[in-house]
Structure 1
Amino acid sequence: MAQTPDEKTYVEIPFIEQLTGLGWDHIEGDIDVPYLTERDSFRDVLLTGRLRTAIKKINLDDEGKPWLDDDRVNEVVSRLERI
């Protein structure tokens, strides 16, 4: 007897394909091993390492150099973690 297609078939897989097509990275995870998804715990919502890198990358001065120092980046991440 064939299984009925589920949410993963109709929603998750097509959405992952759409995002990877737009240039996003897909991290294949494991429901029991949080470090495979670049976090210490599944309670962590943000991938802080990637977030810090992205904040610096998108905040460049007129010469194309990052203008935010580590203290400012840490403040941004801290505010996002408290939301």
Structure 2
Amino acid sequence: MDNVDVFVDLPDGSRWSATLITLGQVELVMKRWATTGEALGGCYFQVSDGLIVRDAGIGNMTRVLVGLIENGEFAQVLQRLDD
């Protein structure tokens, strides 16, 4: 899996969202957009809650999310959803 939208519910009741995507998938999307004309012909890539990860796979992406929680960086990286 190279691209996944996630919703994370933490024990404190807060809810968070992110789009996790690999570097390789970003490159493929931008190349496709170069032919379709989206994003100024593939000149940029932007998603409001995007998180680029090095390696594909649910296991790797889960490790990244857990690491962000353990390091206290979660709130700076993911987007909090309003209650």
TM-score grouping bracket, smaller chain normalisation:
under 0.3
TM-score calculated relative to the size of structure 1: 0.27
Structure with more relative contact order (C-alpha pairs < 8 Å, separation 6 or more):
2
Higher strand share: 2
TM-score calculated relative to the size of structure 2: 0.27
Q: Which is higher, the Rg of structure 1 or of structure 2?
A: 1
Higher helix share: 1
